[in-house]
Amino acid sequence: MKYGISKTPVFMLAMLCLGVSTAGNELYSYIDGNGTKVYSNIGSRNSARPDIETPIESLGIDSAQISPEAAYYEDLISQYSSRHEISEDLVKAVIQVESNYDPFAVSIKNCKGLMQLHPDTARRFGVKDIFNPEENIAGGTKYLGFLMDHFDQNLDFALAAYNSGENTVKRYNGIPPYPETVRYVQKVKSLAGIQDSEKDLRERPVRINRVVDSSGNVTLTNFD
């Protein structure tokens, strides 16, 4: 079954497990430079800081957009996403986060091409020329489709596995607590226009940390 994308902007903070009162510390959200949604009590609706959005009760849709470079590979993405029953927007988002549409990109972990396939993964999914855009996209979408099936259509698990490996996701029974992987899943979903449902957010409450600096100022944030 093809993975569907919800267009309904539903967000909520499920629970704040704090041992102190949060009076005077209203939570706001903004998108940082990596496309990650940050929750914090720093700033206000009338703040001079341009990156502050609205209070957490009325979160909106992220403004991240798919790169225009995607147009060069539109036909290939459409062909192979359909073949492996993956949303085109999801494939475009993965490519953008992985390689920014550079067919010759090579990472420090030796992952290569548009969808940053490791040579072992490329061989596993029948890719002979890893720098050939068609072969690379074909192999990458096949791998992503495999991960979706392997993790029972759980998109978060599949994306986390694409970034950090299947065995890592199995070991943690979910998204591993690696900042890179957590942000990767968030950024891909944001670019693809995929938003968590109210049910998902209830079952996965946001963990808010309370930090007190040397001057006694209290900061509430979802980052460590």
Active site residues: 98
CA atoms within 13 A on the CB side of 205: 8
- Map residue 209 onto helix, strand or coil: strand
Task: Return d(Cα 133, Cα 61) in angstroms, integer.
Answer: 31
Task: Return d(Cα 111, Cα 115) in angstroms, integer.
Answer: 8
Across 2-22, b (16+ Cβ under 10 Å) vs e yields ebeeeeeeebebeeeeeeeee
Residues 134, 135, 141, 145, CA torsion sign: positive
